Every structure is written in structure tokens, then in C-alpha cells.
């Protein structure tokens, strides 16, 4: 029996404080995804990870935030969305929806049970869970969609792609996407947005860039943070925080840059829970407070 766990995704439901962890597992040369639900963030995570509610499913490629009533959405390499639910008895799949012709690479969910998902073929689609139908299709990119970010309480979302573009889309107006960034030689891999003008973008070359569309389509500032591709960027306590495939988390505050070796392998995800909670392919979940 050969078994290894990569921690791929974290999600905290703010009202219930339930924490969702998704881990890739290799058993007898076959990959699967194990989901673990914690009632709240534990003081210390056991190794290997254990929780009262956990189950294994076929391999998933991306995962959304926890929705109301103990539900969450995952995507797979066959282009399917699956709606899962959990309670004290375990985790079960409720429905599966074929939404893409290629594998799903990223997805986000909002409080209205809307899913925005990107795929390997560069397409972005909007799916309504309550109505079980797709409402919007966007042929935005020429290559894999790396990440999607939704601006809260608006109809705006951003998407990044290995074709070198980071785009802003207004779903309500059905308007053409605005180009935030177009740099094929250093593609954007992650994006965070304050509003419809201000953006933070992480790139494949390990840089972190600040953009303001009111000042043109060139970065206001660029920080050379990481040795490998950036996996996520976000804002925490007025500091820019980035994670990368080099296992490090970097912070930028008042233009002062700091770098911390937090994981020994790729940092796959990080979330703001009052401090930074990160996970990686070293099989660990770490609490990062150095901000």
C-alpha cells in the first residue's frame, strides 16, 4: 500500500466556523480526494490529518467555498461539477453536472449558490445550483484558466490564464472583458481585487504586481518575491500576502518585503481566518501570523 497526502484546498465557513480540507491521496497507485470537516479550526493539526467527518471520493481538481446548510461544490478532470453535503454521519454526493468539455481547473462559489468555473480550454462558465443550469459562457482565454476571483456583492469577476491575460468581466452588462494584464512571457497565476480598478496579481515567474486601471494597463509596482510560480495572493491587515511553489509565504507592507519558508513543498492554498492558514504538498496545514 502506497499512500501520500497533498493538502490542496482550505475553506472556512464564517458563520458556523466549519473548516473544509481537501487532500489528494495515493492508494495502490490510484489517486483519490479525501475531504475532512472540522467543527472549528483546531489548535493543532494532527499528522496525518484526522477529523470526525471525512470521506474519500474520486479525484477532484478544484473545490469551492462551503455554502449554506453544509454543502460545497467540487470540479473534476472530466469537466463535471459535483454538489456534496456533509453532516455528522459523513459526506455524500448529491448531484453531478457536466459543464465543460475539458477538465475544470478553478472554481468559486458565492452566497447566491452561483458557481463560476474555469477549464483547461480557457473557457469560463457560470452555473446556478438552485436552478441546475448554466447561465453564462465566456470564451475568454487561449489556454488553461489558472484562477478566478469574484468581487463580493457585484457582478464582476476576474480570471487569469497561462495565455498571459488577466481579465475583468461584468456579468450584468454582458460587456467585453477588460484586459488588466497581458504578458504571455510571464503569465498571471493568481489575482485579488479590492474593487473594479485595483488588483494584485501573482505570476508564473514568482513576481507580485499591483495594478490600477485608472492609471493605465501597466503595473504600478512589481515585487520579486518568489523563486517559483505564485499560487495565491490576498490582502490581510493592509499587507499583501503571497504564496508560491517554492514553499514560501511573502508579505509586503509599506513597501517592505519579507519572505518566510513555511512549507517544504508547494503552497497550494491559503485563507484569511484572522491570521493566515496555509496548506501544501508537504501534507501540512500551517498557521502563519508573521504580519
Position 185 in a domain: yes
For Cα atoms 199, 109, 47, give the angle at the middle one, nearest 5 degrees: 95
End-to-end CA distance of the chain: 41
The pTM is what? 0.93
Cα separation, 180 vs 165, in Å, equals 7
Q: Are residues 7 and 85 both part of a single domain?
A: yes
Determine the average pLDDT of the residues in 204-222. Answer: 90
pLDDT bracket for residue 2 (50, 70, 90): very low
Position 64 in a domain: yes
pLDDT at 161 over 90: yes
Question: 464564517: which residue's cell?
Answer: 14
**Range of lowest pLDDT (1-5, 246-250, 259-263):** 1-5
| Predicted local confidence at residue 1, as pLDDT | 39
Count structural domains, the chain. Answer: 2
The residue from 139, 173, 195 where one domain ends is 139
Q: In angstroms, what CA-CA distances link 98 with 2, 125, 145?
A: 31, 12, 18
Determine the average pLDDT of the residues in 230-252. Answer: 96
| Predicted local confidence at residue 154, as pLDDT | 72
Q: Are residues 197 and 263 both part of a single domain?
A: yes
DSSP string, 116-184: EEEETTSEEEEEETTTTEEEEEEE--SS-EEEEEEPTTSSEEEEEETTSEEEEEETTTTPPPEEEEE-T
pLDDT at 153 over 70: no
Q: Are residues 177 and 192 both part of a single domain?
A: yes
Q: Are residues 36 and 73 both part of a single domain?
A: yes
To the nearest whole percent, how much of the chain has pLDDT over 70? 98
Q: Are residues 151 and 277 both part of a single domain?
A: yes
Kind of pairing between the strands at 62-63 and 71-75 = antiparallel
Q: What's the CATH number where 35 sits?
A: 2.130.10.10
Determine the average pLDDT of the residues in 64-69. Answer: 89
Q: In angstroms, what CA-CA distances link 60 with 47, 143, 225?
A: 22, 20, 30
| Predicted local confidence at residue 66, as pLDDT | 93
Cell of 95: 448531484
The residue from 118, 139, 160 where one domain ends is 139
Position 288 in a domain: no
Cα separation, 137 vs 76, in Å, equals 18
Average pLDDT, the chain: 92
Position 60 in a domain: yes
Contact by Cβ (8 Å): 113, 130:
yes
Position 39 in a domain: yes
The per-residue pLDDT for range 3-20, each reduced to its tens digit, is 558 999 999 998 999 999
| Predicted local confidence at residue 81, as pLDDT | 97
| Predicted local confidence at residue 203, as pLDDT | 98
Position 231 in a domain: yes
| Predicted local confidence at residue 213, as pLDDT | 87
pLDDT at 282 over 60: yes
List the domain range (segments joined by +) for residue 178: 144-282
Q: Are residues 225 and 151 both part of a single domain?
A: yes
Q: Are residues 220 and 196 both part of a single domain?
A: yes
Position 65 in a domain: yes
pLDDT at 141 over 80: yes
What contacts 14, CB < 8 A, 6 or more positions away? none
Position 289 in a domain: no
The per-residue pLDDT for range 233-243, each reduced to its tens digit, is 999 999 999 99
pLDDT at 222 over 60: yes
Q: Are residues 123 and 163 both part of a single domain?
A: no
The residue from 139, 172, 195 where one domain ends is 139
Amino acid at each position: 500500500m502506497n499512500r501520500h497526502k497533498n493538502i490542496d484546498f482550505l475553506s472556512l465557513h464564517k458563520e458556523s466556523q466549519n473548516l473544509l480540507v481537501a487532500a489528494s491521496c495515493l492508494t495502490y497507485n490510484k489517486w483519490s480526494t479525501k475531504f475532512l470537516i472540522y467543527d472549528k479550526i483546531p489548535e493543532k493539526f494532527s499528522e496525518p490529518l484526522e477529523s470526525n467527518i471525512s470521506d474519500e471520493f474520486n479525484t477532484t481538481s478544484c473545490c469551492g467555498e462551503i455554502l449554506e446548510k453544509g454543502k460545497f461544490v467540487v470540479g473534476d478532470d472530466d469537466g463535471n461539477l459535483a454538489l456534496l453535503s456533509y453532516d455528522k454521519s459523513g459526506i455524500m454526493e448529491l448531484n453531478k453536472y457536466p459543464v465543460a468539455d475539458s477538465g475544470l481547473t478553478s472554481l468559486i462559489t458565492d452566497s447566491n449558490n452561483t458557481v463560476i468555473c474555469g477549464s483547461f480550454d480557457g473557457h469560463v462558465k457560470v452555473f446556478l445550483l438552485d436552478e441546475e443550469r448554466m447561465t453564462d459562457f465566456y470564451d475568454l482565454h487561449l489556454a488553461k484558466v489558472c484562477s478566478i476571483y469574484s468581487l463580493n456583492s457585484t457582478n464582476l469577476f476576474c480570471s487569469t490564464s497561462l495565455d498571459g491575460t488577466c481579465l475583468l468581466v461584468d456579468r450584468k452588462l454582458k460587456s467585453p472583458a477588460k484586459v488588466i494584464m497581458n504578458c504571455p512571457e510571464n503569465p498571471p497565476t493568481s489575482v485579488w481585487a479590492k474593487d473594479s480598478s485595483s488588483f494584485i496579481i501573482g505570476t508564473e515567474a514568482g513576481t507580485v504586481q499591483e495594478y490600477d486601471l485608472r492609471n493605465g494597463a501597466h503595473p504600478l509596482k512589481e515585487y520579486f518575491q518568489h523563486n517559483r510560480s505564485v499560487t495565491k495572493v490576498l490582502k490581510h491587515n493592509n499587507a499583501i500576502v503571497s504564496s508560491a511553489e517554492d514553499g514560501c509565504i511573502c508579505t509586503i507592507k509599506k513597501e517592505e518585503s519579507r519572505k518566510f519558508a513555511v512549507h517544504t513543498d508547494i503552497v497550494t492554498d491559503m485563507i484569511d481566518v484572522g491570521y493566515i492558514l496555509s496548506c501544501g504538498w508537504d501534507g501540512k496545514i500551517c498557521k502563519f501570523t508573521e504580519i
